[in-house]
Structure 1
């Protein structure tokens, strides 16, 4: 309700509506002097995302995106390992995101298959891997994408069939700063996958592997030492990985999706207080949107596109 915008007791507006309403609501909140916590994606068009960023800059308010997976203590730790050279110079990155909520061809058509909601897997979905890349290795500079529709149409709720208007699968080649290569694959029609984001980061001295479906562990390979002992070792979340210890004193017990949302909320509060905060703000959010729209344009043109 717009009544919330006039309520002086409300400091933050959380935007959790279907994608096509994000821009209108976030801009209205910022113009009313509210801070904004907006779920992904930022908007369904680059122009709308740019208007959101302009509104944030003009307002002077804090505006962050709901990319809670970056709040995983292990993701923070992996980023620190990469940043500190634990696996040497990064040489290649692969990210896969798969879920099965669009896998059933008998599932009735609903708004996620509408063109008004966006490109499909890319912006409804692959923005999460891009948010993780933004903190682990940075965003890609160039992209080459191909999207696919596993099902051309779906049952309409009022009878008959309705054509699917966007793509449930996306495959993207990536180039990062310095010429580092990468691959992003996203599929929201992958039977058996529930919340999978599989990340592989290869370096000159080792590798990091992480699977979101096992979000309280990752695998680390270090080529140093006796080759007879080489192999991936599993690292479990513990009090050594802040802020895990604020939730559970013992290692290996595990955090969950909602815990990451709590951490994200705390980081938002830190940003509002003017403290250092680990968030995807609208500046980075817009950079993610530019990458997504470059991928869609690449698919349409069948060529490499700049993502910056």
Structure 2
């Protein structure tokens, strides 16, 4: 387990939504769970002054403000958590990096591929500043166990990957239009909200993608708004076929309009000697088949897996979504303290962005990912 910093880090958190609360809980709990110096919660920033004040008081931040530029420039701040709408990601991350801060940014990295390239370039020019993107599902002990099984060769040579990330938060056609459904405010649709999570896991399990063919769909082309019906600009769903640099093949699907699905981040990896199956809706278990066995064996999360024991010493006691964010905060703090860089950083995040933007642009035609082979 990486060493935690012994010097307290000053934190600024921008945003008070779902992920803002996740980051606030992670910053409050990271030293409690993993030791080291407790972060100093310096600034809570939100566009709504009342909301900023209330959130700062609730989570123990020293100050509340509405000016995010002042927050990232503050000399008492060492690391900036950015949990704002997608359209603000680049401006805030760039400003934080230029101010000499470390950055923890929620996905997707940016609205456009060119923005992501610029952000990765800016981070590369500042090697002493750490960046981390919020792909928290990579911190699940079950996922880490699957990675370890594959690395040890327990299922042999990798042959194929099948992955799905479906939810139904946009399935109701009466759901009002929002910024999430525009290129200017949201960027990509299901690919940027959900599919990027599946890509992050796919790359970690299978290695780089060499080529893909994809198609997207806008299932509900218009949404109601106070001004009348407004057009949906980005995709509700996407499907892709892939070839990895190793020669293995893959299939990929994501949808924000899949009725009944809440967080079906499901994948299976087929190897020459076995298969591993995972589903985020049952995030504390893996199903593993090995050649010669009659079927699959259920593997429960437990303290033998990295990260789990820091929260609970007993097997079968479930790990959760917010614990993943605490591990993410731990990895970032350790990287700032001198451990190996946490991932995905902005360089690795750019590879995820290249894949999802290639899927969006494919239109059913093959797209080469260049250096992957």
Q: So what's the TM-score if we normalise by structure 2?
A: 0.79
Shift of 1:211: 0.3
Distance in 2 between residues matched to 1:70 and 1:11, nearest whole Å: 25
Distance in 1 between residues matched to 2:217 and 2:328, nearest whole Å: 33
1:33 aligns with 2:100: yes
RMSD of Structure 2 on Structure 1 (CA): 1.1
Residue 215 of structure 2 corresponds to: 146
1:124 aligns with 2:193: yes
Residues 35-89 of structure 1, C-alpha deviations (whole Å, 9 max, x = no match): 0001001111111111111111222311110000000111111011111110010
Contact 1:12–1:35, Cα closer than 8 Å, also in 2: yes
Shift of 1:233: 0.6
Distance in 1 between residues matched to 2:260 and 2:72, nearest whole Å: 42
Residues 96-118 of structure 1, C-alpha deviations (whole Å, 9 max, x = no match): 00001111001110111112211
Q: Equivalent of 1:56, from 107, 123, 135?
A: 123
Residues 246-267 of structure 1, C-alpha deviations (whole Å, 9 max, x = no match): 0011111111110000000000
Q: Equivalent of 1:207, from 275, 282, 294?
A: 275
Structure 1 outlier segments of 4+, above 4 Å: none
Residue 242 of structure 1 corresponds to: 306
Distance in 2 between residues matched to 1:277 and 1:80, nearest whole Å: 19
Distance in 2 between residues matched to 1:154 and 1:43, nearest whole Å: 24
Q: Equivalent of 1:169, from 234, 237, 240?
A: 237
Deviates more, 1:78-87 or 1:270-279: 270-279
Residue 262 of structure 1 corresponds to: 326
Contact 1:92–1:181, Cα closer than 8 Å, also in 2: yes
Extract unaligned runs of 5+ from structure 2: 1-67
Q: So what's the TM-score if we normalise by structure 1?
A: 0.95
Residues 1-21 of structure 1, C-alpha deviations (whole Å, 9 max, x = no match): 211122121111111111111
Deviates more, 1:169-178 or 1:1-10: 1-10
Contact 2:223–2:230, Cα closer than 8 Å, also in 1: yes
Distance in 1 between residues matched to 2:111 and 2:358, nearest whole Å: 13
Secondary structure, aligned partner of 2:309: helix
Distance in 2 between residues matched to 1:69 and 1:207, nearest whole Å: 20
Shift of 1:307: 2.4
Extract unaligned runs of 5+ from structure 1: none
Distance in 1 between residues matched to 2:356 and 2:269, nearest whole Å: 21
Superposed counterparts of 1:225-236, under 5 Å: 229-236=293-300
Shift of 1:93: 0.3
Secondary structure, aligned partner of 2:246: helix
Contact 2:109–2:116, Cα closer than 8 Å, also in 1: yes
Secondary structure, aligned partner of 1:115: coil
Superposed counterparts of 1:74-223, under 5 Å: 74-116=142-184, 117-158=186-227, 160-223=228-291
Secondary structure, aligned partner of 1:264: helix
Shift of 1:140: 1.5
Distance in 1 between residues matched to 2:337 and 2:206, nearest whole Å: 28
Shift of 1:294: 1.4
Distance in 2 between residues matched to 1:278 and 1:54, nearest whole Å: 17
Contact 1:130–1:139, Cα closer than 8 Å, also in 2: no
Shift of 1:277: 4.9
Distance in 2 between residues matched to 1:171 and 1:157, nearest whole Å: 32
Residue 58 of structure 2 corresponds to: none
Distance in 2 between residues matched to 1:269 and 1:51, nearest whole Å: 25
Residue 14 of structure 1 corresponds to: 81
Contact 2:217–2:236, Cα closer than 8 Å, also in 1: yes
Contact 1:77–1:241, Cα closer than 8 Å, also in 2: yes
1:303 aligns with 2:372: no
Distance in 1 between residues matched to 2:78 and 2:72, nearest whole Å: 9
Contact 1:65–1:279, Cα closer than 8 Å, also in 2: yes
Distance in 2 between residues matched to 1:288 and 1:94, nearest whole Å: 17
Contact 2:132–2:342, Cα closer than 8 Å, also in 1: no
Residues 173-200 of structure 1, C-alpha deviations (whole Å, 9 max, x = no match): 1110122110010011111111111111
